[in-house]
Structure 1
Amino acid sequence: MTVPTSANRAYYNRYPFNVDGRGRTASATSTDYIKQLVEQVLFTAVGERVNRPTFGSGVNQLVFSPNSNELASATQLLVHGALQQWLGDLIHVESVVVRNEDSSLHVVVHYIIKRSQQRQSAEFTRES
């Protein structure tokens, strides 16, 4: 959620929602906010959100899947498509790398923030 402030700067709530040391809603920079949006798209299962049943990529389910080159390629395309669909107005996805090792899932996303043209890289790991 974005709330305008008196200095005409955007205020972004941190994900997951929490309270900072002053007892206020924790905030995030625009770069951190976009990274948190990427994380939400990646690790939200399709059908998990009631009002947006097509939101997410369902990559969490891959933790228990057998490793194969075909599955990795299909997953990278799935994740790339989900990010373009849900965050296409904010970022341009350059590449997605998905690795399934033992009981861990590693996802690396390289993207460009459209507004600032900053190249970013975000790495996420989930344990089963």
Structure 2
Amino acid sequence: MIVSDPLGTGWRFPPEPAGDGTLDWQSGPALIRQSILLILDTDPGERVMRPDFGCGLRKYLMEPNTPATRAAIARDVDAALRAFEPRIVVTDVDVAPTDDPAVVLVSIGYTHVRDRSTDSLRVPLGLSGPTGGG
């Protein structure tokens, strides 16, 4: 049974049948987080019917972990979420270095449009490139 949620209900991704042959569903904040992660993990051109969809973070693979790279990542994340996830208002995107020079931490703050609740998501992003002044 699908329960109505003000933030929406949709298939869990990737879609695969549950033990009883039905599809698993996501709803509420989990559905929004799933959508954000899909946007971040998709490169423009990857979806044939929506060639502009996605964030394009793979282009930062092998880039140096510098303030300029982190600022560019933050701009791309902010622009992609504003363009492709209308159920949220992005309030903050911060990209910070971690103890591992080949990984940055992308922190996203947002407000759900429907119920005005706030949420956040933190996603590690591997750069695996040379490090620069940080």
TM-score (norm 2): 0.78
- Does 2:95 align with 1:95? no
Total equivalences in the alignment: 123
Report the equivalent of 1:110.
Answer: 109
**Aligned pairs (5 A) from 1:1-128:** 11-87=9-85, 89-99=86-96, 101-127=100-126
- Looking at structure 1, the residues matched to 13 and 37 of structure 2 have their Cα atoms a distance apart, in angstroms, of 9
Secondary structure class of the residue paired with 1:55: coil
Distance 1:99 1:63, change over 3 A: farther
User: Contact between 2:9 and 2:31, CA under 8 Å: does it hold in 1?
Assistant: no
Tell me the secondary structure at the aligned position of residue 64 of structure 1. coil
Higher relative contact order (CA 8 A, sep 6+): 2
Displacement of 1:75: 1.6
Change in Cα spacing, 1:69 to 1:97, as seen in structure 2 (3 Å) is same
Moved over 4 A (4+): 7-10
Which structure features the higher share of strand residues? 1
User: Which whole-Å CA distance do the structure 2 matches of 1:105 and 1:15 have between them?
Assistant: 25
State the shift of 1:83 in Å.
0.5
Query: TM-score when scaled to structure 1?
Result: 0.81
**SS of residue paired to 1:33:** helix
Q: Structure 2, unaligned stretches of length 5 or more?
A: 129-134
Residues 20/106 of structure 1: CA separation in 2 closer, same or farther (3 Å cut): farther
Higher relative helix content: 1
The root-mean-square deviation of aligned C-alpha atoms, in Å, is: 2.3
- Identify unmatched segments of 5+ residues in structure 1: none
